[in-house]
Structure formats: structure tokens, C-alpha cells
Chain A
């Protein structure tokens, strides 16, 4: 059972994600994470001003429970199922990140330069996280889905819109990493 404490290989992880999707469908729901962002807007009262958020929150409760579960799952995995959480990315990636100033590459789960304890006084890092999150939230709702709803569920169901969205995800990501990262970091 030692393998459980190691990083899980793709051929274990991928099928387990497919299983997550199938289980959600078998309980009468769907695999989609970003709709919850809108539910939080509605919970905060955005429906009073913007009709788009004026929805029946009860119908979204299931999603919030999935999200709560994901928080618990993250806690359990990080605290009880992992001995060494450093992510062993390719050595060429480590070298590339070192030139950008990410010294934690290869020895942490997330870069300490963006997610470490010092970042609360690092205005640049805070702006990067805020803008990154904003683009994720705006883009996911504009495209009506994210990696779970489009790249996994949508393409599994052979949906052309999901293929378009996923190509978009990659074009955006490639542009960010190859053209904007050297300007930002």
C-alpha cells in the first residue's frame, strides 16, 4: 500500500477522474466545477442587481457539497496520504523555472514564490494570484465550463463546443507561459 503515499501516475489518476464523472452522472448530476463560482455570487446577493445570478440556490446545493468534499479531500490527501509533497517535474522544466526566478521548482507542491507564507506582503504576487483567478472565473463562465465540464465531460460526450473551448484553454495557456511569463516574472 506504499504506492498510495507516492504521487499517483497518470494511468491511475485519469481513470479515477473518469470514475468521478461517471459517479456524478449516476447520482443524477454532472461533472462541472465552475458553475459553483456563480452559485457563490448568488449566495452573496448578486441576484438582486444582476438577473443572471437570480437563481434558485437550492438547485445548486449539490455542487456546493461536492466542493466542500473537495476541500476535505485536499485536506486528507495532503495531511494523511502524502509523505513528500514535492512535485518531481522534468529537469528541463526545473531549469526553465529557475531562469524565471522560481527556486522552489522540483522541491515543493506549489511555488513558494506565489503560494508561500511571505506572499502576503508581496504586492506583485498578490496581484498575479488575483488576476489569474479573475481570468479563470471570467473565462470559465464565458465559455460555460472549465476543464471538468468541457475537457473531460464535454469531449467524452463528443461535444464540438467543448473541443473549441479546450483548444482555447491550451492556446491561452501556451500564450501565457511562452510569451507573457518572460514579461511577468
Chain B
């Protein structure tokens, strides 16, 4: 039941990502050119509504569908890891035109060259894991 819920949420997310065109390389490029409100509207409305929903979930003490207490993790405070990691991610986001979610969506949509991006991303995560003790956090 739990497993099915994760799978179905993923299906829903995949459909939204494809239909919103947030998985399109062109939309990412257009966003960085400031030529359209589309991507800003998506992210802006998602996080405003997201903030309202989170406040409600936290404030009401709602339990999960499976009766567990909901814990929303706070991000660890630091600067460099977010700043440098963020810029590196941004460079790749604009170049490949895909962030980690859309990589899977595009694979399902049948754009096979995305496999190269996926492979690169795993390699990148692997290198981070190998080098992390030498990087500023």
C-alpha cells in the first residue's frame, strides 16, 4: 500500500513535469533569458502554496496517512556547500536543460539521449561522495 502510494505520486509528478514543460530544455533556457513568466510562475506558485500547505501540516499536527508523526527536516546551517554546490548545479541545469526530476520523466517520454545526462549525474554524485572530505562545506 505504502509502496503503491510512492509509485502513484511519482506517476503524478511525472505527468505534471512533462505537461508543465518544466522538463523542456527550451523552457529552462527561456527562463534564464527572462523571456517568459512561465517557469517563474510555476516555481513561485508552487512555493507559495507549498508554504501554506506546510504551515497547515505543521500547525495542525496532522499525522501521515499511515499514522506516523510527520517530521519536516530543517536544513543544516552552512554557507559554502549551498553556494558552491548551487552554482555548480545551476551550470549543469542550464547546459543539460534538466534537473534530477525531469531526467526520469524524459527517459519515460522516450528521449533516449537523456541516458547520457543520467549517467553523468550519477558520476557527478559519485565524485562528490569521493571528494567530499576535501571540499569546503
Closest residue on chain A to residue B89 by CB atoms: A139
Tell me the A residues contacting B by CB distance below 8 Å. Answer: 4, 7-30, 33-34, 36-38, 40-41, 44, 46, 50, 52-53, 61-63, 65-79, 81-82, 87, 89-90, 92-93, 96-97, 105-106, 108-111, 114-116, 119-120, 125-126, 128-148, 150-162, 164-178, 180-181, 184
Give chain B residues whose Cβ lies under 8 Å from the Cβ of A169: 86-87, 89-90, 93
Chain B, residues 41-79, CB within 8 Å of chain A (1/0): the string is 111111101110110010000101110101011111111
Contact A168–B57 (Cβ < 8 Å) = no
Nearest Cβ on chain B to A85's Cβ, whole angstroms: 8
Q: Given the known inter-chain contacts A13-B42, A27-B6, A169-B93, please indicate yes or no for A144 contacting B74, CB distance below 8 A.
A: no
Contact A81–B100 (Cβ < 8 Å) = no
Tell me the B residues contacting A by CB distance below 8 Å. Answer: 2-3, 5-33, 35-47, 49-51, 53-54, 57, 62, 64-66, 68, 70, 72-79, 81-101, 103-111, 113-114, 116-130, 132, 135
Instruction: Among A13, A28, A73, point to the contact of B10 (Cβ < 8 A).
Output: A73
Q: How many A-B residue pairs have CB under 8 A?
A: 513
Nearest Cβ on chain B to A136's Cβ, whole angstroms: 4
A111–B26 Cα distance when bound, in Å, is 7
Instruction: Among A37, A128, A143, point to the contact of B95 (Cβ < 8 A).
Output: A128
Instruction: Among B28, B79, B108, B117, point to the contact of A72 (Cβ < 8 A).
Output: B108
Contact A140–B85 (Cβ < 8 Å) = yes
Contact B72–A37 (Cβ < 8 Å) = no
Contact A97–B29 (Cβ < 8 Å) = yes
Q: Is the interface of A mostly helix, strand, loop or mixed?
A: helix
Q: Given the known inter-chain contacts A10-B45, A20-B13, please indicate yes or no for A71 contacting B6, CB distance below 8 A.
A: no
Give chain B residues whose Cβ lies under 8 Å from the Cβ of A44: 122
Contact B113–A114 (Cβ < 8 Å) = yes
Contact A173–B17 (Cβ < 8 Å) = no
Q: Can you list 13 pairs linking A and B with CB atoms under 8 Å apart?
A: A14-B49, A17-B46, A21-B53, A25-B54, A72-B11, A114-B25, A132-B92, A133-B121, A135-B91, A147-B43, A158-B51, A168-B82, A173-B94
Q: Given the known inter-chain contacts A53-B129, A92-B33, A173-B91, please indicate yes or no for A15 contacting B75, CB distance below 8 A.
A: no
Give chain B residues whose Cβ lies under 8 Å from the Cβ of A158: 51
A147–B20 Cα distance when bound, in Å, is 15
Give chain A residues whose Cβ lies under 8 Å from the Cβ of B51: 155-158
